[in-house]
Amino acid sequence: MYTLWLMPDKNTYQKLSELIVDLSSVHQTPRFEPHVTLLSGITDKLELAIDKTDELANSLSPILASLTNIAFLEFYYRCLFFRTSDSEELVYARELAEELFEHTQITPFIPHISFLYGSLPIFQKESIIEALGEEFFVNFRMTKLRLVKTQRTPEHWELIEEFEL
């Protein structure tokens, strides 16, 4: 199974990476790279998925977005996350990806950047949110699209290819 990730610009990536490392150390949860999941559950064969990712990247321009608020769900991979503005460019990129790829993704697109995976009680999540404040509510650009093999757990995820938008 493959996933498409939009990667935040260097400064935003660095700031979010530090947050992920800090929180994963404190809560003993997996580390991962900050990203916006554009589409998951891609079932195309590898070479075709690479070709389609290249085609998609060539059809897109860098995407501007904002981290707008912090939220959480009772899902392991959305334990804590920043909601990302759903700009026209981002929605268009998702629609185009859905058209191009064979995929099993049927849930609605909720643009976000997770910063903690795991299963924490709600009071701990609320405490983390309160401690973070608004420091991370920034505007950023996404200029790279990655094709990632996302089977099993984050430590097994594998970057297949990266493309400039």
- pTM of the predicted structure, to 2 decimals: 0.93
Q: What is the pLDDT of residues 86-114, one digit of tens each?
A: 889 999 999 999 999 999 988 889 999 99
Kindly list the structural domains of the chain, giving each domain's residue range(s) and its CATH number in brackets, ordered by start: 2-69+85-111+137-164 (3.90.1140.10)
DSSP characters over the chain: -EEEEEEEPHHHHHHHHHHHHHHHHHHT-------EEEEEEE-S-HHHHHHHHHHHHHH---EEEEEEEEE--SSGGGSEEEEE---HHHHHHHHHHHHHS-B---SPP--EEEEE-S---HHHHHHHHHHHTTTT--EEEEEEEEEEE--SSGGG-EEEEEEE-
Q: What is the pLDDT of residues 9-22, one digit of tens each?
A: 999 999 999 999 99
